[in-house]
Structure 1
Amino acid sequence: HLWGCSGGGAAQAWTYNYSTIPSRRWPEARQWCLQHFTDMVPIRNKEESDFINDLLPFNTRYYWIGIVKKDGEWIWQDTSEKVPKEAQNWAPEEPDNIADQNCVEIYIKREKDTAKWNNESCRKKKGTVCYATSCRQDSCSANADCVETIGNYTCQCHPGFLGSRCEEAITCKPLLDPEQGSYYCFNPYGSNRFNSSCRFHCELGFQLVGVPQLLCQASGHWNHPVPLCQVVQCNSLKAPPNAFMQFCSDPHGEFSFGSQCKSTCEEGFLLNGTADTECTSLGMWSADIPGCLGKVHLFISSVN
């Protein structure tokens, strides 16, 4: 007999499968489950016990489930894990300590202690309850773990993903180019999405203030604020004696990258050096401020 939760064309759901004829010993029952389905039903909690009790027909011999005694402990056969006390669902005064009663049956639709467990000799013949997993290779995207539930499955998304199959990466707010700067990104799941990594650069004459590389986090926020591009500054200029700054052109601010200044001398003095200087991208002036020497001093110097 086969029962399933899936509809035509729909995603597969966890199915329970049972057999009453022929009755099987416990090892044979488990082998049948492994051969035709996924495994013998392990019964993880009381909710599952009640679900199976509602689903299966009454059988005078009841049904084997996938719990056995090993080294004095009751374990789930499919994982070899110990069944914790809170997950056990024994009938009153069970399990007993009768020798060789190391396998477990579940009472189905019994007038007394229905859906409860009883330990029995593994050589007895009973009905069999198997399950087939609902999770298939394509049930969820690669960004999720497929988790079995009673009568269904869910896709448990990895951090940074959402959607019914966890196929969509979480989005961060779009980034804006900083003034006098730009950025480029590596986008493994799409622009401005989880794990997008963006590196910022500034134009010539501007320096980066802040963290140069941003990462879109699973929270949907960038891990740092967008950095700024700040203009490079040169030292302030001051006219030497007998001179004055005729004018300065400051496209990005006073005494900053691109500033151009011209020096002239007072009447009676001659320029000794280069009149023009410019603030470079390295934050240095292209030429020193010239001096202004009197004409007499220049004549003496030339004679010497």
Structure 2
Amino acid sequence: MPMNWTQARQRCQSTYTDMVVIQNQRENDYLVSMLPIKNSSPYYWIGVIKKHKNEPWTWIGNNSTWVGEHSWAANEPNNNHSTEVCVEIYVNRGENRGKWNDEKCNARKYPLCYKAQCNETSCERGRCQETINNMTCLCEPGFEGDRCQTPEELPLTNNYTQCNDTSCERGRCQETINNMTCLCEPGFEGDRCQTADELPLTNNYTVQCPPLPRPDNGYLSCFGGNLTFNSTCRYGCSLGFLILGSPEVTCEVTGVWSGPRPTCACN
């Protein structure tokens, strides 16, 4: 049912979200492609108005002042009698289809409404902008993602550091992107340089196990060094005696012999 501009907006707000807002030529063309052809007025109200004759045309939904280079029909807007501050969109055939015309707000046209895709939770850190059958988030500086939910990984500056006095126990802290790493002193390792390296044994540090006593009723033979690390000693029993336990022991890195000592028992 045709109605004046104020009634049309009230209808849109009560049934949908508001009167349609057009943000670019692509949206304008899409909108026109969805509307039926009308060979004569009444056409459709759209949500752009001029609040004062010296002010720009402004969209009611987002206060945008977008007007396309070819939005207006020929010789429009003409502000006939200085009272044409509302706008209709032509949907007739021919070159004026999809063009705009300024019109008196009390003229009767069909309302052209839209249903918002945006809501309060659409964008976490940004502004929601309606698009054709969808929405997009315009993120605040420093945020990204389809919902502006992810902080951007920005390069570090002198005002933003990860290192502090306790970052590395035995090393130097080096900044990386949103993180840090420890450059350890010689002899230390670990993510915080907290662990001493397990260095291989050298001639300057020799592990030596204590001498082993010869077993009663038996004998002892050692190999591989002067009772040092990895040396091996083998026990044996005299004729008529049986060895009880492992016949072989090894000098371990801790400086003790492996396992209990065997004994020789009478057979």
TM-score by length of 1: 0.48
Q: Which amino acid aligns with 1:61?
A: P
2:100 equivalent in structure 1: 117
1:55 equivalent in structure 2: 34
> Deviation of residue 71 (structure 1)?
2.2
Query: For the Cα contact (< 8 Å) 1:45–1:88, is it kept in 2?
Result: no
Distance 1:120 1:168, change over 3 A: closer
> Deviation of residue 65 (structure 1)?
0.5
The correspondence of residues 79-158 of structure 1 with structure 2, limited to 5 A, is: 79-84=62-67, 86=68, 89-99=71-81, 100-140=83-123, 142=124, 145-156=127-138
Aligned-residue RMSD, C-alpha:
3.5
> Deviation of residue 202 (structure 1)?
3.7
> Deviation of residue 69 (structure 1)?
1.6
SS of the counterpart of 1:210? strand
1:210 equivalent in structure 2: 173
> Deviation of residue 147 (structure 1)?
3.1
Gaps of at least 5 residues in structure 2 are 155-159, 188-195, 198-267
Say yes or no: does 1:65 pair with 2:46. Answer: yes
Query: For the Cα contact (< 8 Å) 2:45–2:88, is it kept in 1?
Result: yes
> Deviation of residue 76 (structure 1)?
1.4
Query: For the Cα contact (< 8 Å) 1:41–1:129, is it kept in 2?
Result: yes
Q: Which amino acid aligns with 1:48?
A: E
1:269 equivalent in structure 2: none
- Deviations along 1:121-164, one digit per CA (max 9) or x if unpaired, are 11110011011111234445x355433211212345664654x5
Query: For the Cα contact (< 8 Å) 2:24–2:66, is it kept in 1?
Result: no
Distance 1:69 1:169, change over 3 A: closer
> Deviation of residue 169 (structure 1)?
6.9
The correspondence of residues 148-297 of structure 1 with structure 2, limited to 5 A, is: 148-156=130-138, 159=142, 161-162=144-145, 165=147, 201-203=167-169, 206=170, 208-211=171-174, 216=178, 222=179, 226-230=181-185
- Rounded to whole Å, the distance in 2 between the matches of 1:80 and 1:165 is 23
In terms of fraction of residues, the more strand-rich structure is 1
- Rounded to whole Å, the distance in 2 between the matches of 1:49 and 1:92 is 17
- Rounded to whole Å, the distance in 2 between the matches of 1:147 and 1:102 is 26
> Deviation of residue 198 (structure 1)?
7.3
Q: Which amino acid aligns with 2:48?
A: I
- Rounded to whole Å, the distance in 2 between the matches of 1:196 and 1:157 is 25
User: Greater Rg, structure 1 or structure 2?
Assistant: 2
Say yes or no: does 1:75 pair with 2:75. Answer: no
Query: For the Cα contact (< 8 Å) 2:163–2:173, is it kept in 1?
Result: no
- Rounded to whole Å, the distance in 2 between the matches of 1:63 and 1:145 is 29
Query: For the Cα contact (< 8 Å) 2:45–2:109, is it kept in 1?
Result: yes
Query: For the Cα contact (< 8 Å) 1:44–1:87, is it kept in 2?
Result: no
Query: For the Cα contact (< 8 Å) 2:143–2:149, is it kept in 1?
Result: no
Query: For the Cα contact (< 8 Å) 2:45–2:112, is it kept in 1?
Result: yes
Distance 1:87 1:35, change over 3 A: farther
- Rounded to whole Å, the distance in 2 between the matches of 1:101 and 1:230 is 80
Gaps of at least 5 residues in structure 1 are 1-20, 173-194, 217-221, 233-250, 253-304
Q: Which amino acid aligns with 1:149?
A: T
Aligned length: 177
TM-score by length of 2: 0.54
- Rounded to whole Å, the distance in 1 between the matches of 2:182 and 2:9 is 63
- Rounded to whole Å, the distance in 2 between the matches of 1:151 and 1:125 is 27
**What is the percent sequence identity of the aligned residues?**
34
